[in-house]
Structure 1
Amino acid sequence: MNRGGCGGGPGRGGRGFGGRGGGPGFGPGGPGFGGRGPRGPGFGPRGPGPWSGPRGPRPGGGGGPGSGCGSGTGGGNQGQGGMWRDERPSNKILTITSFSVIKGRGEPYESSVFEAGGYKWRLVLYVNGNQNDGGNNHISLYVRIEETESLPKGWEVNVELKLFVYNGKQRKYLIVKDGIVKRYNDAKKEWGYGKLIPLTTFLDTNEGYLEQDIASFGAEIFSGTAVQVQEKVTFISNPPNNVFTWKILHFSNLEDKFYYSDDFLVEDRYWRLGFNPKGTGDGRSQAIPIFLYAQGHKPNAVATNTWGAVNLRLKNQRSSNHAQIYSAAWYPTRSDYGVGVNTIISLAEFNDASKGYSVNDSIIFEAEMVKVSVTNIVPI
């Protein structure tokens, strides 16, 4: 159990935030899908479903207008905060523009891979808190070690980890740490803080962490030369060539399996559509589903999560009364990750010839990518 923390003496202003790192523990769940309105996205592999799973921890104490500290054993989630510095984090800076686009999302953003101390790492950011790590009403941030396959059996990497949140009002970085060595190994590849900073503080524009809808985070692992570049995530609305049309012939002859469109490129990533003509999940045999799948990145693109917001349509071939659903989610770096809906249209409505969704035994799906993210590594 991770026990409480303590308040420190006076310091250089600010608040005490942060947390001790809880480790990962990803596990599959059952199939889940994104849906209309409040039904969030589903996540998972190629086929009918999607899924994702957890991580683990809990609070220490924050200091007053100086410093605070948290301590304990096991997977806690709160560390010492309230300390500030002018210098940028030395290993990784992640800047997200148009932060309001993803405010409230539950799935994490996973950064591109970066190197520090001779190892490869990735930042994992939960903008609405990691609920499985006690991160309710907080920003959660972790550092995960990557590309460990080449390390010797029984490997262990011990690091001193510092995470950062930039405050534009003070023009300084808030440092979050707990002073405890983080032991990375096969059983524990991720450390960080479920309670990096309270959402009420972070989202309050008077506090200075979110200025002009831009948020910036950072990490230091061991010590290193000052970083000269930052990872910048930008959201592109209605990018060029953002509409893809998929016409399917001989619909009545299709089998009970998933069919996939050709890949299409929007900004830095390839995408494809997929569906099962006999239905999936709770729409099985009652409705037609449609899913958007993220594929690989184009050459030389920065391979990170990609935000994909899309209008998915079954076209009405006799009028503009199309069946349409909106879906938005972070798509991870792996390919064949699908998000969509089981029920874009009921079979009863689809089979009504007067509606115009099926003409000459053909149907037309359309994907309009209304907002995607593009990640670049740029000079500071």
Structure 2
Amino acid sequence: MPKIGVGDPSPNIPRSRLKEPSSRRGILGINIPHRKLEGISMMSSSISSTTLQSWRERSPSSYTLKIQNFSQFLKSTPTSDDKYQSGLFSSGGYKWRMIVYPKGNDKDSGNGFISMYLEIDRTSLMSTPPSEVFADLRFLVYNKKENKYFTIQDVESKPFNTLRTIWGLPQVLQLDTLKDPENGYIFEGDQCEFGVDVIVAPPPTKWEQIFFNERPSNAKFSWTVKNFFEVKEDPLSSNIFSMGGRNWVLKLYIKGETRRDGKWLSTFLFLAGSETMKEDEKIYTRAHLRVLDPFGNNDITKELLCWHNNSKSGWGRPHFMSIAELREAYLDKEGTLSVEIELEVVSTTNFYPII
């Protein structure tokens, strides 16, 4: 019988102990609102429109920069465009550098803040496909007093490519907040610690592509059944025909698909037995089924909309037309029934990689 188808949580600490960084839009596309998040402890996660701030115990997963004398570190950067570039490190199959502006990147609205960025190594980018790499970035500053890392990240993955090799945050933490030993970022004399997590999104390895072929070739099939009411076979199957790159069979259930009362002609479209479908493949068809009027232009037409999800399922119209109406007006003088199907749309799906 055919299948019928129609058509890091942490304890709170007082706000006064740690200053929450305010910020504004930078030229590197980072948009952090000025307004502080009232009523949310610095020890819990805080979300702005583009960044997520939180605290955690786990150390940076990709790279750590430990500064033994932060005061001297501040004095050293004017000789290198106010920034410090780390050594190369690997993450996700690519080479990276962490960039720290201890006085802030004033070209990116970061003056008075710690600015932190990540740069992908161009040679690594060019030698390892694909040519564009998406990565989630999480910047960290260690707080000795809490024995946790202040963490800030952009909520969106960033695309690294040959035209844009650097992404980051111009306003990670206020410099005055970091420099005040009472806040815990400067510890054991003049030490501090920065870090980064780089989570590289792997390129897609499996996908599917679906095409909808409108007005396919060989879009019409006609079938005549002589002496229709003398046919013993039920259902009655047409010859195999090709439409839209697939082989099909029409089936007529003379006593009706439900076989209950024999008052209806049922029409169904099946994939031919030679057709196989890939696992989880679906084929969409939109077609018109017709019983032709042998004496005029009063054809009976019904639309068929369906997704074939396996090669053994038929889709069609269980009550296409009544047997009484068919007998009265849709057989010619020799008792011949003429049926037609016209395919308007058929889909094909390609799965990658091709196995």
TM over 0.5: no
Question: Under a length normalisation based on structure 2, what TM-score does the superposition of the two structures give?
Answer: 0.45
Larger Cα Rg: Structure 1 or Structure 2?
2
Question: Under a length normalisation based on structure 1, what TM-score does the superposition of the two structures give?
Answer: 0.42
Higher helix proportion (structure 1 or 2): 2
